[in-house]
Structure 1
């Protein structure tokens, strides 16, 4: 156990005082009076040493404690109730450690707040940008119709159709923002149940069969499944995940391409569901940010494709709300593979 620093200070101070006292005592013995025997001088010096040690130790602790207490009183972030007299005054490093821990904690807190503030600014900027385009589109067509274009039936039908598409995009953005907000604030509770994931995938295939045919993209399983595959999860949310991933694969898939979904055993407790395509793929520098809200690999082309820019972010939130993992592999020019885990039904 390390010798406490104030004890060391008091010990050596007492030694120095005792040595000085001995010098004076011997000087008095040899030059003034030899009636006092050496044993008495020795006992006297021991008493001086012991008294000096305790007095110096007490004074040192008191001195340090008062000044450290003043620091605690003046610095609002330090709680004076946390100040323990014995520990703080017998080892000054305790205060240093406390302050260092506080500084490190505040540094991390400031860093997190800075990142959040940056994220908030980016998020608000993205929301404004995403809403601005369809809003201005709708506003422009409506103003044109009000200024007299509504008299022409062909123009009226065309402009109202485009206005309807702009409104649909606005509704899509608002709905997706609402879903993310609920997921982040735990307002959207998961309703876990057992269901057949193969049946759910087939329902999604049926839902988007016509959209896929427009680009000659085939939606298929990776193999023939002879038996149902039962998993545990929120069926509506997992359907949303599959919809977003399949729509994404169609949107960025190559004409005459293929979107394939496969289910494999991940470990004893989980399955892994893979959504694979042979589309254009994603460059390596975009992979780490692909699940961010409103992040687009190609800004102009992505907006031409429509959508809210929140699909993959919603996928990530839903999978994490299930306490599961989502993975992404992609080779630019060859295709992508999005996969996520789900718990096996017991």
Structure 2
């Protein structure tokens, strides 16, 4: 037999009615009609009071608690703010407290799981990135030691390749150290007045040789804006501009164009670096600033780089109180944009 709130209320009310009639039987002068009225009144009052207490105050809230547990199992953490109100019902308060507590703990667990996955991926990526130049240099040097050193042309060629691999390893280690220091706050930004237009012009001059090799036109706009004074760390912002412009040259099309555009706002300058290259598929954009993430791994390795450039750019701009955004369309090109505070 299933005990519903109605059946429980009925049985308890019947028991109370019987006890009431039993007590009345000891009172002299009571007749049958009085027994009937007293029994019916006590039964009705007890039934509805017990029904309300069980159904409204207990049963419904216990059912809600069960539903809450089911939602938590399904990781449904949506909880309307309107429902979080002070209530005299302790079961309702308990239900809300359980839900909020478990939801927070589950979110913490999910975050820890994500960090653990990220840690494993990062260690695997670092191992792979370090292994590549080490094995390359090791192979060239062992080949020389096995007898190829006697051939002057082979010796010079292999030594140059080994040196190139070790230079790449050095750059990777330096980027890893810099990124780690930025994440832990060891590197602080030394902000000063910087003419970003002049700085960008110097970066373009340094990258002019690479641009000429790909017949890429470098352009700074608008022409009428003589100076772009911002509050920034000159060295770190140079890293940002170098990375963005170099990437635009490296991954753009031959005979392409890279445009650095400055737009003046009331308190900021908006800086964008745009190319007319092959673009980036939309599914890659959310992960573009992750460490070692490459859109086309084989193509990226051919063109060099540590795979940490955009991650470093993101942290430098974050330390400047800015965020970098990217917009791209396949076969149309890619645009990286960020803001910097104007200098007084």
Question: TM class by shorter-chain length?
Answer: 0.7 to 0.9
2:294 is aligned to 296
Q: TM-score, normalised by structure 1?
A: 0.75
Any conservation in 1 of the 2:204–2:218 contact (CA below 8 Å)? yes
1:248 is aligned to 247
Pick from 317, 327, 330: which aligns with 1:329? 327
2:52 is aligned to none
Would you say 1:318 and 2:338 are equivalent positions? no
Any conservation in 1 of the 2:197–2:226 contact (CA below 8 Å)? no
Q: Tell me, what secondary structure is at the counterpart of 1:132?
A: helix
2:184 is aligned to 185
Distance 1:26 1:281 in 2: 93
In the alignment, structure 2 segments of 5+ residues that lack a partner are 1-12, 31-85
Q: Tell me, what secondary structure is at the counterpart of 1:291?
A: coil
Q: Tell me, what secondary structure is at the counterpart of 2:27?
A: helix
Any conservation in 2 of the 1:197–1:229 contact (CA below 8 Å)? yes
Any conservation in 1 of the 2:216–2:258 contact (CA below 8 Å)? yes
Q: Tell me, what secondary structure is at the counterpart of 2:28?
A: helix
Question: What's the Cα RMSD here?
Answer: 2.8
Distance 2:119 2:194 in 1: 38
1:36 is aligned to none
Match runs of 1:71-150 below 5 Å: 91-150=90-149
1:305 CA displacement: 0.4
1:20 CA displacement: 6.9
Pick from 27, 30, 49: which aligns with 1:29? 27
1:172 is aligned to 171
Any conservation in 1 of the 2:222–2:262 contact (CA below 8 Å)? no
Distance 2:161 2:91 in 1: 74
Any conservation in 2 of the 1:195–1:230 contact (CA below 8 Å)? yes
1:17 CA displacement: 9.8
In the alignment, structure 1 segments of 5+ residues that lack a partner are 1-14, 33-86
Any conservation in 2 of the 1:88–1:95 contact (CA below 8 Å)? no
1:76 is aligned to none
More displaced 10-residue stretch of structure 1: 251-260 or 136-145: 251-260
1:115 CA displacement: 0.7
Any conservation in 1 of the 2:237–2:316 contact (CA below 8 Å)? yes
Figure out how many residues of one structure are paired with residues of the other and give that number: 284
Distance 1:247 1:99 in 2: 53
1:179 CA displacement: 1.2
